[in-house]
Amino acid sequence: MEEYFKLLILIAPVFLLILTGFVLRRFKWVTQEADASLMNLLIRVLFPCLILSVVLGSDSVRSSSSIIVPPLVGFGITALAMGVAWMVARSMGYRKGAGLRTFCFATGIANYGFIPVPLIQDMWGEGELAILFVHNAGVEFAIWTLGVAIVSGLSLKRSLRKAANPTAMTLVGAIAMNLMGLDAHVPLAFEKTIDAIAACSIPIGLLMIGMTLSDLSGEGEGLFEKKSSFGGVAVRLLVLPLMTLLLAKTLPLAIELKRVLVVQASMPAAIMTIVVARHYGGQPIVATRVAIATTVVGVLAIPLWIRFGTWFLDV
């Protein structure tokens, strides 16, 4: 129990920042008109700088195994998660055109950025964080190929173009510089500037999650529905964590990657699935219900899964 409360205290700042964003929106201190600019700042500047700050010069991502295996695992587990979610959704009565595609996508994608980043950094340091970013390259590839194809019905070829985004390109560039030894020649002034910008990324990202949840909560009682809310929690916070931890136990993976999987297994559904569902013709209300239910339950479930996962995998 003492370990549980230590982990709960560790994740508390994450959810307090989300709550702060929620309050900021409710008091209209940050309006929806600012969202597009903040999102561009986050995606095109802040998060790429965070990746550069962590990955550039990191000894954790210099070997071929640390560059190839994590994204393959990230892609494979995310694809498998969407497949499992599809089967569970069919058994729950979901059908195409009635939320099946969106439920599969929303529950299959764990939050892989703004919640796990501060947790992993606090628990194991920046070397471990670099492995998370490389792992996330595979997750993003799965989202923008299989995920978009599922939620929209588009072909994989048309979805593939979305995989070339600022985050992916920054990661590739940072890894390439490490492999060529160019990271040692980065000017100190540049490093300090990157670090200063990177420090803003997680707080702003978490505030934006809170503001998004505030906007969604204004839609009324439709935000809760037994099938999608309870079903989302059952799949995202029970079935998929067990699947992920069993795979991590079975596969011959480095301990650093197993730690990443422990945290990823505990995560609620990603808020960004709502945006993707809106943009690609899915049913955003289904993604919203899944995201809100799993985030609320996740406050208590995350420490439990992390505690169990570290014991189960002995990491």
Mind listing the pLDDT tens digit for each residue in 257-281? 999 999 999 999 998 888 788 777 8
Predicted local distance difference test score (pLDDT) of residue 134 = 92
CATH of domain 2-313: 1.20.1530.20
CB 105 within 8 A of CB 37: no
Q: How far is CA 20 from CA 25, 71, 224, 314, in A?
A: 9, 33, 22, 35
Angstrom distance (rounded) from CA 230 to CA 234 = 6
Q: Per-residue DSSP letters for the chain?
A: -HHHHHHHHHHHHHHHHHHHHHHHHHTTSS-GGGHHHHHHHIIIIIHHHHHHHHHTT-GGG-SHHHHHHHHHHHHHHHHHHHHHHHHHHHHTT--TTTTHHHHHHHHH-B--STTHHHHHHHHH-HHHHHHHHHHHHHHHHHIIIIIHHHHH---HHHHHGGG--HHHHHHHHHHHHHHHTGGGGS-HHHHHHHHHHHTTHHHHHHHHHHHHHHHHHTTGGGG--HHHHHHHHHIIIIIHHHHHHHHHHHS---HHHHHHHHHHHT--B-THHHHHHHHTTS-HHHHHHHHHHHHHHHHHHHHHHHHHHHHHHT-
pLDDT at 160: 61
pLDDT tens profile 161-197? 666 677 778 888 888 888 888 888 889 999 999 999 9
Q: By C-alpha distance, which of 38, 10, 3, 86 is closest to 204? A: 38
Tell me the C-alpha distance between 87 and 90, whole Å.
5
* Residue 216 clears pLDDT 80, i.e. is over it: no
| pLDDT above 70 for 1 | no
What Rg do the C-alpha atoms of the chain give, in angstroms? 19
What is the Cα–Cα distance from 103 to 169, expressed in whole angstroms?
29
- 95: buried, middle or exposed (CB in 10 Å: 19+, 13-18, 0-12)? exposed
Q: What is the share, in percent, of the chain residues with pLDDT greater than 90?
A: 45
Greatest mean pLDDT among 95-99, 148-152, 243-247 lies in 243-247
Instruction: Please provide the size of the chain in residues.
Output: 315
pLDDT in tens, 43-57: 889 989 998 998 888
Q: What pLDDT score was predicted for residue 161?
A: 61
Q: Model-level pTM?
A: 0.86
